[in-house]
Amino acid sequence: MQALLQPLLPGFGINIGGATSIDITREGIDKAYGLKRLSEQTGVALDKMIFFGDAIFPGGNDYPAKHLGLDTVQVRDVAETKSVVGAIAAWLV
């Protein structure tokens, strides 16, 4: 799908958004952009963040977080995300 759409939409980024969607955004406006802005606004350094996503693979809409250098956790769904976050939170307390 990406290969078909990319020539039709120059200047846009096209990423797989998990199993059911495709993200089409202006080039450079992706999750890495958002995470950098979040870091700037909150003062939380990128190396102190953990990113959870279901499409952390090249071409996936979560991959920019990994490419940015954040620690990432691949999850399947909301239930698994809650479980992993709960385990991390319990370990921190």
21 is in an annotated binding site: yes
Q: What φ, ψ does residue 84 adopt, rounded to 5°?
A: -65, -45
54 is in an annotated binding site: yes
Tokens representing 3? Answer: 């290969």
Per-residue pLDDT band at 17 (split at 50, 70, 90)? confident
30 is in an annotated binding site: no
Please tell me the pTM assigned to this model.
Answer: 0.82
Q: Residues 70-84: what's their mean pLDDT? A: 96
Distance separating alpha carbons of residues 40 and 30, to the nearest angstrom: 16
Q: Which domains does the chain have, with CATH numbers?
A: 2-92 (3.40.50.1000)
* Mean pLDDT of the chain, nearest integer: 94
Distance separating alpha carbons of residues 43 and 8, to the nearest angstrom: 39
Tokens representing 50? Answer: 């953990």
Per-residue pLDDT band at 1 (split at 50, 70, 90)? confident
CB 14 within 8 A of CB 62: no
